Amino acid sequence: MGHSHHVRRRAQTTAGDRMNLTLIILIFFFLAAVITAAVLYYLTLQNLAAVKREVDKLRTQADDARASAVLRNERARCYQQLLALESGLQSQPRESLGAEELAMVDINREEIRNCVEALKRSGNWMGLPYDLDWQDMWENLPALQKLYRVTVVQEAGQGTAGATSPAAPPPSGAAAATATADLPALPKPSGQPQVMAQAVKNMMNR
């Protein structure tokens, strides 16, 4: 009787130990699963952050490439207008440029310079032979370059001649006094020599 009771108690103790061991194993696996999930979640966040950085970088590069393409297209458009004018001057030589042609050269020059500066600031400037600066383009337009300088000098010379033309000799005697009293005050010189000097300076800087 006592022996069977002792055996029963040992069996119960063994069963309890097994349950405790099983519970410990289950808790261990649960904690391991939680830790593994946390590590995987952290790694996933890191991968997503890296992917986002790459996507942002590619988007920025795409925007830069798109902006650079727009600048190059605008520069090419301006250069094509100047090339067309150069071709016309070579086929039909002239003595000077018209006012509209002179203005077109100035406008296109400024547009080309702005595009070149924007490309250089963005770091997308490739240099020769892919990217031409304004001076490189201007050297490829010899006929236009020559007539442009001639026209600027002519316009400056005409302005200077008008400003420095000699006046008529004054009348003498009483007629001189009467004419002087009746005439309004003469306007001051308009500064045409300074205009010519500035025009020649601009021409030399082109």
Of 79, 148, 140, 69, whose CA–CA distance to 108 is shortest? 79
Q: Which domain holds residue 80?
A: 21-161
11 inside domain: no
Helix axis angle, 2-91 to 142-163, nearest 10°: 60
User: Does the pLDDT at position 201 exceed 60?
Assistant: no
Most confident of 54-58, 128-132, 189-193: 128-132
191 inside domain: no
For the chain, report the end-to-end CA distance as a whole number of angstroms.
Answer: 122
81 inside domain: yes
167's tokens: 């006046």
Distances (CA, A) of 160 to 81, 107, 146: 32, 25, 21
pLDDT tens, residue by residue, 96-110: 888 899 999 999 999
Residue recorded with tokens 């001057």: 89
Q: Which residue has the higher pLDDT, 4 or 129?
A: 129
pTM greater than 0.75: no
* Band of residue 175 on the pLDDT scale cut at 50, 70, 90: very low
181 inside domain: no
Q: In this predicted structure, what is the pLDDT of residue 79?
A: 93
Of 76, 88, 202, 81, whose CA–CA distance to 143 is shortest? 88
User: Does the pLDDT at position 164 exceed 60?
Assistant: no
174 inside domain: no
Q: In this predicted structure, what is the pLDDT of residue 81?
A: 93
Planar angle of CA 171, 177, 183, nearest 5 degrees: 85
User: Does the pLDDT at position 47 exceed 60?
Assistant: yes
Least confident of 56-65, 70-79, 195-204: 195-204
Average pLDDT of the residues in 6-14:
60
Of 81, 75, 88, whose CA–CA distance to 104 is shortest? 81
Report how many domains make up the chain.
1
